[in-house]
Each structure stands twice: as structure tokens, then as C-alpha cells.
Chains A and B, each alone.
Chain A
Amino acid sequence: MLEMKTDVDDGTVTWVDQAIPAGFGTAADQARQAAPADDLAGALHRTALSDLAAFEEVYRELSGPVFGLVRRVLRDHAQSEEVTQEVFMEVWRSSARFDPATGSARSWVLTMAHRRAVDRVRAEQAATARSEQVGRLDPESSAVDDVPDQVEHRLEREKVRRCLRRLTELQRETVRLTYYTGYTQREAARLLGVPVTTVKGRLRDGLIRLRDCLGVSA
């Protein structure tokens, strides 16, 4: 959310936090969400016309989430920078192919980022090396905990953390092992020692509960 970038010290952030209800999105909530999303779609559109300033706008808004996400999956800092750069090169290259009818600009870019990170780890077959670092099944370890505390996006992080805590442990673990770690459902099932069908169900339930808790409307 762009609002999260406001200076924490000037008090506006408190206003933002109160304005976002914990449950379903209100009309006001949606309106505020829609504004930056539209800006971003506009910036992508201008990027397609080789507008470097517009491309920088897209980068400034999304490089944090892209890099943070890629780093959760890849772990390696240098590789994560590489993949982040690849993702934005791809954004530049194919910005004319973004279709607002199929989803938001943020979702388009982050889907690309996740897919690339996951493809990279799977191609490298690095699962064994990585699994030692995953810290699986530590009840207190949700992937957001090991993120350095930065002012930017702090409220969003707290909110995500809160919503993750509301999941059952198995829901949380399936979301963490798939989205944040990049395992397939089958791999997650093996790690958790439960049938694949259970993982599929918990993942779906977990995403639905997160969607509602975060007030997401597509």
C-alpha cells in the first residue's frame, strides 16, 4: 500500500491503521486500495511507451515486495538481487502485455517474481540445501519474523503477521512452505508428514482465511 510509506512519526500512520478494519474491506478501504493500484497500472502503461520515469515509479513501489519475496524463496542475497533485476527487466520488456482486466498491476508483477524465484530454485534442485535453513515447524517461526524491521511497509507486515497468527498451525505451515519457501504441495506434504490432499485443503482454507482477514477483494 502506498499509504504505508508515510512517515511513521507524523501520526498519519495511526490514522491509516484505524481506517483499515480487520475484517472485510469497506467501500472507503477499497477506494483507497484502488487509487495506488490504478496509478501503478498507469505507470505500467507509460512504461510500455519507454517512459523511464514511469518505470522507476513501478520499481520504487514494487521492488521492496519483489526483493523481499524472492529472498524468502531463494535465501541467497546475491541471487535474489539478480532475480529481482530479471523480474524488472521482464516488466520493462512486456509492460505492453499487462492487461488490467485480468488483475492488478501489483499482482501481475509479483506473480512474475514468485514464478521466477520458484523456477530458479526448482531448476537448481537446491531443495536439500535449503530445507536445512527453512526452520520448519517451529511454531513461532512465520516467514515474516526474520525480516529486518524497516519503517516502510511496517504496518502491512504487522497486519500480515496478525492474520497469519489467526490460521491453524497446519494452514500457516502450508502457506509458508508453499508461498514463502517455494515448495510444491507434494513436497510440503512430505515435510509435514500429512497426505497431499490435506495440504491442498489447508492451503485453500488458509488462503481464504487470509483473504478475508486482510480484506482482499479482487
Chain B
Amino acid sequence: MTASDHTVHGLTAGYAVDALEPDERDRAERHLRECEDCRRDLNEFRETTVRLAYGVAEPPDERVWRGLRSAVADIRQLPPEPDTAGDGAAKQGAAGEQAASRGTVHSLRAGRWHSHLPWLVAAACLAVAITLGGVTAWTQHRMNELRAHTTEVEHLLAAADARMTEAPVTDSDAHATVVTSETHDSVMLMVKGLPEPPEGMAYQMWYVDADHEMRSAGMLKPADDGMLTGMAGELGTATQIGITLEPAGGMPEPSKDPMKVDV
């Protein structure tokens, strides 16, 4: 055993209690894939910490369960994992290469996306806070909306071919972050720098195809920090997303030539 092997073996206990620094965590994960003894150690340490958790068990208030029971009905469940961790890494690598060929693109590492998108976490937390805070018809509706949105976003971001681009919005000072996935046929847009819409008005998104056909892609909604966000499926062959200011309920066709973002 080399000195560096020894150092890596020594990470198992720290890994089991989540006490590693981020770089150590990555090293430990790589090593655990190779080292069967370490995986056995890890399992035993984790079963030990299970007991430590039982040692501090404390039942939460019943409202936690009530919130969950009404919440999960709207949460789509993931299918079984088709590939091993190794395969996943290979896939992510492939997605990265594909992405790199498209210019200003960042590959998204599954599981790390929240570091890029703190507002999503905020949305998820808000959904939970609302769940805990008593349920009126309105909060229930808003909660479902948020949760559905967050779940869709999570799926989009977890897609192996998810890619993120930063692009300016034409005819404005705004810029947009665009996440697309062909397998999911969907797009998420985060726009910063657009003026706040006047009362009763809102920004609507339009898919723009190569032949300049436009179809509605839903409304942009205000998020934290003056940011606007939108999520839409049926991306199809759209090459751009247009944005126009419309009455709050949206229009069947854009009332003027939209500002545009490349996707």
C-alpha cells in the first residue's frame, strides 16, 4: 500500500459522517468505487451512524406528515437508475463534449446544479415553508404550481444532455441563462435585467422556429432578485425564444416583434 493509498483509505470514516472537505469528498468517492474493503467499512460505519441517529430520535410534529401526504401526490417519481455511477460519469463526460462543441456552454454536473441555481433551492424551500404554514386553497394551488415547476426543473437539470448557455436578450439590456435538453424536449429560461412589467402586464415567451413561425411557450414569472423565470416543454425545432410584454393572461400571438434569445 502506498502512502497515498493509505491517505485515501483514511477518508472512509470522514466520508461516512459527511465530515470531508469538498475535494476530499470527490477523492473518497472515486476511491470507494475501486476499493471493496472500503465499501464494506463504509457500510458498517453507516449502520453505526444509523444507531447514533436512533439514539437522538425525536418524533416531528404531525403537521410534517400532513404536509408530506398532500405534497407527494403531485411529485413525479424517478424511474430506477439504469446505469452505475461509472456509467453516469461517462455519460456526463459525453454530454460535456457535445456541449463544448456548441460554444459558450457549461456542462451541468448532475447533483451539483443547485450551486449554480440557488433560487431553485429557494423555490423548493418556499414550497416546503408553505406546506408547513397551514393550507388554504390558494396556498395549495401555489404550492402545487411551485412544486411541479421545481420537479420539472430538477428533471431537466438531471438529464444527461442538459446544457446551459448564457446569452444576451436582443433589443434590451437583459441577458438570459438558458437550459435545454433535447431528450426532455424542454427549456428553462432565467432572465435578468428586464424592466418590471406594468400592472396587469407580464412577459410572454415564444418559440421561434427557423422559418420564424412563433408559438406561445407560456409566461415568465418573477423570481428572486428581479429575475424572471420560465419553463416550457415541446421545444421542438425552435432555435430562439422570443419575449414580449403582453396582458397578464398571455396572448395567442405576439403583439409585436419579440426580443430574442438563442437556444
User: Which residues in A have some Cβ–Cβ distance to B below 8 Å?
Assistant: 1, 4, 48, 50, 52, 55-56, 59, 63-69, 71-72, 78, 80-82, 84-86, 88-89, 92-97, 99, 102-104, 106-107, 110-111, 113-115, 118, 143-144, 147-148, 150, 152-153, 156-157, 159-161, 164, 175, 178-180, 182-186, 188, 200-201, 203-204, 207, 210-211, 214, 216-218
Contact = CB atoms under 8 A, between A and B. Distances in A.
Contacts of B68: 59, 85, 88-89, 92
Contacts of B58: 64, 67-68, 71, 147-148, 150
A82 B55 contact: no
Contacts of B53: 65-66, 68-69, 110, 113-114
Given A96-B81, A160-B56, 11 more contacts: A1-B54, A85-B68, A92-B72, A92-B75, A97-B78, A113-B53, A115-B18, A178-B14, A178-B19, A216-B44, A218-B40
A104 B47 contact: yes
Contacts of A200: 10, 13-14
Contacts, number: 209
Given A107-B46, A160-B51, A218-B44, A185 B81 contact: no
Contact of B77 (A48, A80, A104, A217): A48
Most chain-B CB neighbours within 10 Å: which of A95, A106, A159?
A106
B113 interface: no
B20 A184 contact: yes
B59 A150 contact: yes
B44 to A, nearest CB: 4
B57 A152 contact: yes
B102 interface: no
A143 B56 CA distance: 8
17 contacts: A55-B72, A56-B69, A63-B59, A67-B64, A89-B68, A95-B77, A99-B81, A104-B47, A104-B50, A114-B18, A147-B58, A185-B14, A185-B20, A204-B10, A210-B52, A214-B51, A217-B44
B67 to A, nearest CB: 6
Interface residues of B, number: 53
Contacts of B55: 144, 153, 156-157, 159-161, 164
Interface of B: 10, 12-14, 16-21, 40, 43-61, 63-65, 67-69, 71-73, 75-81, 124-125, 128-129, 131-132, 151
Contacts of B44: 211, 216-218
Contact of B57 (A65, A204, A214, A216): A65
A159 B128 CA distance: 34
Contacts of A118: 18
A75 to B, nearest CB: 13
Contacts of B132: 78, 81-82, 85
A91 B124 CA distance: 15
A59 B14 CA distance: 28
Contacts of A156: 51, 54-55, 57
A211 B47 CA distance: 8
A147 B56 contact: yes
B77 A110 contact: no
Nearest to A174: B19
Contact of A188 (B19, B60, B124, B151): B19
Contacts of B56: 65, 68-69, 71-72, 143-144, 147, 157, 160, 180
A95 to B, nearest CB: 7
Contacts of A183: 19
